[in-house]
Amino acid sequence: MKIYTKTGDNGETSLFNGARVRKNNARIITYGVVDEVNSHVGLLLCYTNKEEKFKEVSEILSKVQNQLFVLGSDLANPDTKLKDYPRINNEDIVFVENSIDNLDRNLNPLKSFILPGGSVESSYCHIIRTIIRRAEVNIVNLFVDGEADSKSCLIYLNRLSDLFFVISRVVNKLKNIQDIPWKPS
């Protein structure tokens, strides 16, 4: 399989069903943002895989990477009637919710808003969280335009941004770094 096909040289690409669309199509932009999230998760894994204390976080991140790949392919396939095609589903959402609940149990309750930062790993989590929010906005736009009908994708991303907020706090705690409280001026 060749890496370059030259079929996109005029600013178009193919969806899974073979339809040709412009590369600035809302669907293409959306799964591009999901790919961006996945790339940042891969970078975060480079840090968390180095230390045993991050084992649980790394396992969650690895599973999320695979789910994000499914989400991207889900968005690349407008034909929701295909039976044996991987789709984001309720099991994926439950995995994220359970991960949030399990990680959050060991954290102190928040008493104020916190600022992104503390450790490098926590900062990456916040970057990922904000990119996920952008992907979520893009999926909402697809719904508004009638280009999406899988509510699971939207729910998944909404939960996923919460997961990265919790992971940001977990990695700071594991590194014995305090979260940075927001201090209004």
Residue ranges per structural domain of the chain: 25-181
Query: Between residues 126 and 22, which one has the greater pLDDT?
Result: 126
Contact between 16 and 36 under an 8 Å Cβ cutoff? The reply is no
Write b or e for each residue in 59-95: b if 16 or more Cβ atoms lie within 10 A of its Cβ, otherwise e: ebbeebbebbebbbbbbbbbeeeeeeeeebeeebbeb
Q: Supply angle C-alpha 17, 42, 151, rounded to 5.
A: 45
Q: What is the average pLDDT across 76-81?
A: 73
Query: Does 166 score more than 80 pLDDT?
Result: yes
- Which candidate, 167, 156, 21, places its Cα nearest to that of 88? 156
Residue 84 predicted with pLDDT over 80: no
Q: Given this model, what pLDDT does residue 74 score?
A: 84
pTM listed for this prediction: 0.91
For residue 159, what are its two tokens? 């939960």
**What pLDDT score does 81 carry?**
65
Cα separation, 161 vs 20, in Å, equals 31
Element (H, E) at 122: helix 120-144
148 vs 170, more confident:
170
On average, the pLDDT of the chain sits at: 91
Nearest to 13 by CA among 63, 57, 76: 76
- The candidate with the shortest Cα–Cα distance to 60, out of 97, 99, 104, is 99
> Is the CATH number 2.130.10.10 carried by domain 25-181?
no
Q: Higher pLDDT residue, 106 or 185?
A: 106
Per residue in 5-54, pLDDT (tens digit) is 887 878 888 777 778 888 888 888 999 999 999 999 999 999 999 999 99
What mean pLDDT do residues 164-173 have?
Answer: 98
